[in-house]
Amino acid sequence: MTMPVLEVTGLSRYFGGLPAVRDVTMRVPAGERRLLLGPNGAGKTTFFNLIAGDFPPSQGEIRIFGQNVTRRSANERTQLGMARTYQIITLFPKNTLLHNVVISLLGLRDLRFNPWSDLRRQTALWDKARATLARVGLDHIADRTVAETSYGERRRLEIAMALAQTPKLLLLDEPLAGLSADERQDVQRLLQSIPRDVTIVMIEHDMDVALAFADVITVMQHGQVVVEGSRADVVADPKTREVYLGH
């Protein structure tokens, strides 16, 4: 049995007395497209934040690429080969799209601690950033500031910043949220073009898109895993209907 890329065991997180995530166990093998489904307040984003290292769990263990990262910081996890996007777009609005991607690339290089070398002269870095923007179809507006772009373009930039780091594990938090029908198709195509050597865990509310994308689906409610299985299994499970329709 191959080592899972992401392995979560008995993970819980309480905010005061309120359980946001309760005893979640999950194994995501290499190359899998895992979808997290669930109504608002199900604990999906908290679960993501725990994996990403935004805050520590109250209980449980997280392993990424076989390494126990439960007590390791967010930046250490990223250095291992994990990248993420946010539900609420988090970019550098005063900077150009190109600069945003350069900052993403810089995060994995020793140059980030260099107090002397002019970043503007690191041509290889800027070329790579431009190539990454081309990959997501934003190279034609690379020199625009983020503030001058549309919501859909910002979503794509978020994904570009994650892809720039050539991650092996990619966490996507509602990458289609707030997009128009055309923009959704663009982002969907972009997600489908990501090679299989990248393992993806995604939160998404759009069932049609999500079901078309996912290999395995995990349905959460009240911070717990309710159903887990293949698309067919999850759709057929009466608990899924109960979670979404309340009967």
Partner 1 sequence: MRGPAFNAIPRLVVCAALLALPWLVTSDYYVNIASQIVIAAILALSLNLLIGFGGMISLGHAAYLGVAAYLTIYLTAHAGFGHLAGALIAIGATTVLAMLFGYLALRASGLGFLMITLALGQILWGVAYRWASLTGGDNGLGGLKRPHPFGLDLSNPAIFYYFVLFFLVIAIWCIARFIQSGLGQSLQGTRDQPRRMRALGYNVWLIQWLSFVFAGFWGAVAGLLYAYYHQFVSPQALHLTTSAETLLMVIAGGTGTLLGPVVGAALVVILKNVVSAYITRWLILLGVIFVAIVLFMPEGLVPGITRGLRTLKRRTRPDETADASSIAGDRIR
Residues in contact with partner 1 by CB under 8 A are 52-54, 73-75, 78-79, 83-84, 86, 90-92, 94-95, 99, 103-104, 106-109, 111-120, 122, 161, 165
Q: Identify the burial level of 224 via C-beta atoms within 10 angstroms of its C-beta, where 0-12 means exposed, 13-18 middle and 19 or more buried.
A: middle
Q: Which of 166, 192, 164 is nearest to 175 (CA)?
A: 192
Q: From the CB of 106, what's the least distance to partner 1, in Å?
A: 6
Q: From the CB of 4, what's the least distance to partner 1, in Å?
A: 22
Query: Which single residue is written with the structure tokens 């998404």?
Result: 204
Q: Based on CB atoms, which residue is closest to partner 1, 24 or 83? A: 83
Q: From the CB of 44, what's the least distance to partner 1, in Å?
A: 17
Q: Based on CB atoms, which residue is closest to partner 1, 41 or 93? A: 93
As a whole number of angstroms, the longest Cα–Cα distance in the chain is: 63
User: Do 146 and 91 contact (CB within 8 A), yes or no?
Assistant: yes
* Strand positions, DSSP E, 160-223: 169-173, 199-203, 216-221
Q: Based on CB atoms, which residue is closest to partner 1, 107 or 178? A: 107
User: Do 95 and 145 contact (CB within 8 A), yes or no?
Assistant: yes
Find the radius of gyration of the CA atoms of the chain: 18
Q: From the CB of 108, what's the least distance to partner 1, in Å?
A: 5
Q: Based on CB atoms, which residue is closest to partner 1, 92 or 244? A: 92
Q: From the CB of 190, what's the least distance to partner 1, in Å?
A: 20
Q: Based on CB atoms, which residue is closest to partner 1, 42 or 162? A: 162
CA 73 to chain centre: 17
